[in-house]
A and B are shown apart, each in its own frame.
Chain A
Amino acid sequence: MAMSTDRHQHTNLFRSDGLRRRRQWEERTVRAALLFFALVSVLTTLGIIYVLLEETVLFFRQVSFAQFFLDTRWTPLFLSQRFGIWPLVNGTVLVAAGAMLVALPLGLLAAIYMSEYASERVRRVLKPFLEILAGIPTVVYGYFALTFITPILRSVFPQTQVFNAASAAIAMGFMILPMVASLSEDALYAVPNSVREAAYALGATRWEVATQVVVPAALSGIAAAFILAVSRAIGETMIVAIAAGQQPKLTLNPLESIETMTAYIVQVSLGDTPQQSLAYKTIFAVGMMLFVMTLGMNVASYLLTRRFREVYE
């Protein structure tokens, strides 16, 4: 008897319409709120596009596309204003290319070692170092480039300018190395052991398995990592703002002072350029260029991992 009353009460508790309605209401409210939080990221993207477009459109009302894309000089802050974007792109690509010369081979080798050679214990010792390297603020790398790498470069190549592309590129390369290593390692790690074992069974040595079987199998992942690294290098700001200089010019000589797109934005932000002036609008046009370049690479990297991913069982 007692049990049945008990059960009866419980049944009532769960059938209470008020409670159920409150729970449904709570469920719906929470779901809506969480969806809104997730949509903040979409709003962010829209905001970026809106802000960049708005100012860029204003900029191009005063400066023609031809001036922007065909002129070879960039001097918006001088009296004789010229708006050719290429010197800034040149500086950006020069530093990024230099950084890739450091980060890609070292990063890939590090990834091969971590994934194919290192024992669990060695990995546990080495990995934190790479993580620290990745976690150091970029302004610190800038300091290091200017006060350590540049003096060394100048003692080896006396013609090196105080601010130069090479020292920023080297520091940036080591900053990006952990990212390349970690993403490539993920790609290598995803190759199943059966593939390695098959290669061993055919008589390949360990290095041959790593480079002729595992790396090709993980190639799309590695390529995606490389593209992301380039995109990161192009958007990197503080190292170049500190160590690479403020002289936009068309040159391939890494020992010269140059200016990147990001460093230019910093230069104008720190200066006393009036906010309504045409010179100030240039930073949004440059930002748009930067955004389009990095977006293109990020999408390419995303498609690469999507499209060419080898699916193993």
Chain B
Amino acid sequence: MTTDDGRRTTDDRRRTPQYGIRMFEPNLERRKALGVVWEGVALLAILLGIAMLLTLLVKVFVDGLPHLRPQLFTEFPSRFPDQAGLRSALQGSIWLMVLTALLSFPLGVGAGIYLEEFAPKNALTRFIEINVANLAGVPSIIYGLLGLGLFVRGLGLGRSLLAGVLTMTLVILPVIIVSTREALRAVPASIREAALALGASRWEMVRDHVLVYSMGGILTGMILALSRAIGETAPLITIGALTYIAFDLRGPLDIFTVLPIQIFNWVSMPQAAFQRLAAAGIIVLLALLLTMNALAIWLRNRLQRRW
């Protein structure tokens, strides 16, 4: 059964068993059923992640809640679990966060503004952009080695809070630059054109218009970057932030410790009581992070405008 020029017809193929009849049937029912099964599996993958998160939170709260006493906030660390507290760690974390914010805000936002609003399209700009993208992927512990070589030893700052602040600023700088650029990009070009058409210089346009309208997004990114800084442990351990500090922090040149380092220290203790104390410390840390994230969401909803 061939046509005149020798080709087989479609009809032909359907009837000839050796070409596999089933192959050309849509078989839709089975394929759809398979799709539903896989959809379930994919959903399960997300739910597994969420289940892990909930397990983690429940575990931390069950372990730590009984140890969440007032002494935890007022006492210095101690060899005795029932007398140990987070006082010096809390001071260190809050100081570190405030100073890092003061330093990284102008640096990060300034760099973001330059790249988004001023930079000419040339090789230098491309180099800076690639460099920022790459820095975002450098492990934080490498920044710790940088801080150790440059700030602790090079500038002779020792294991001081200031050395920690400088190191942490460099860690979160790429994050701030990226989020600032995104916030600036959300402002439509018409706003810029309107300002320039009225005779504003480029900087006046940025200062009085673009920056004002994108401040919500910029601040949100800033807070998220700081919440990363407050949970970051490795670079501070590397520059030598100590774990046992039994006096109040007096200034930026004092030695210091922070919450996650204190938690790490307690986790590493063999006694179970210290591990439960670590869980209590984690609750404090998570509460701090939650507050900051809530603030970020509130800011975003309040200051961000839609165009």
C-alpha spacing A62/B233, complex, angstroms = 31
Min C-beta distance of A67 to chain B, whole Å = 21
> B106-142: contact bitstring with A at CB < 8 Å (1 yes, 0 no)?
1110110111001100000001101111110111111
Name the interface size band of chain A: 35 or more
B149 touches A30 (CB 8 A): no
Stretch of A45-53, A70-78, A153-161, A191-199 contacting B (4+ beta carbons < 8 Å)? A45-53
Chain A residues with Cβ under 8 A from B26's Cβ?
203
B135: contacting residue among A27, A44, A146, A207, CB under 8 A: A44
Contacts A51-B145, A270-B237 known; A34 to B53 CB distance under 8 Å? no
C-alpha spacing A42/B28, complex, angstroms = 57
A291 touches B142 (CB 8 A): yes
Kindly report which residue of chain A lies nearest to residue B207, judged by CB atoms. A30
A269 touches B237 (CB 8 A): yes
Min C-beta distance of B228 to chain A, whole Å = 8
A14 touches B199 (CB 8 A): yes
B208 located at the interface, meaning its Cβ lies under 8 Å from any Cβ of chain A in the complex = no
> A242-270: contact bitstring with B at CB < 8 Å (1 yes, 0 no)?
10000000000000000000100110011
Mostly, the A contact residues are: helix
> B264-295: contact bitstring with A at CB < 8 Å (1 yes, 0 no)?
10011000000100110010011001000100
A41 touches B111 (CB 8 A): yes
B49 located at the interface, meaning its Cβ lies under 8 Å from any Cβ of chain A in the complex = yes
C-alpha spacing A37/B148, complex, angstroms = 22
Min C-beta distance of B273 to chain A, whole Å = 13
Which A residues fall within an 8 A CB radius of B?
14, 23, 26-27, 30-31, 33-35, 37-42, 44-45, 47-48, 50-52, 54-55, 105-107, 109-110, 112-114, 117, 126, 129-130, 132-133, 135-144, 146-148, 174, 177-178, 181, 203, 205-208, 211, 228, 231-232, 234-238, 241-242, 262, 265-266, 269-270, 275, 283-284, 287, 290-291, 294-295, 297-299, 301-302
7 A-B pairs with the lowest CB-CB distances in the bound complex, closest first: A235-B139, A137-B231, A207-B35, A51-B149, A37-B110, A34-B114, A109-B45
Which B residues fall within an 8 A CB radius of A?
26, 28, 31-32, 34-35, 38-39, 41-46, 48-50, 52-53, 55-56, 59-60, 63, 106-108, 110-111, 113-115, 118-119, 127-128, 130-135, 137-146, 148-150, 153, 170, 173-174, 177, 199, 201-204, 227-228, 230-234, 237-238, 240, 243, 260, 263-264, 267-268, 275, 278-279, 282, 285-286, 289, 293
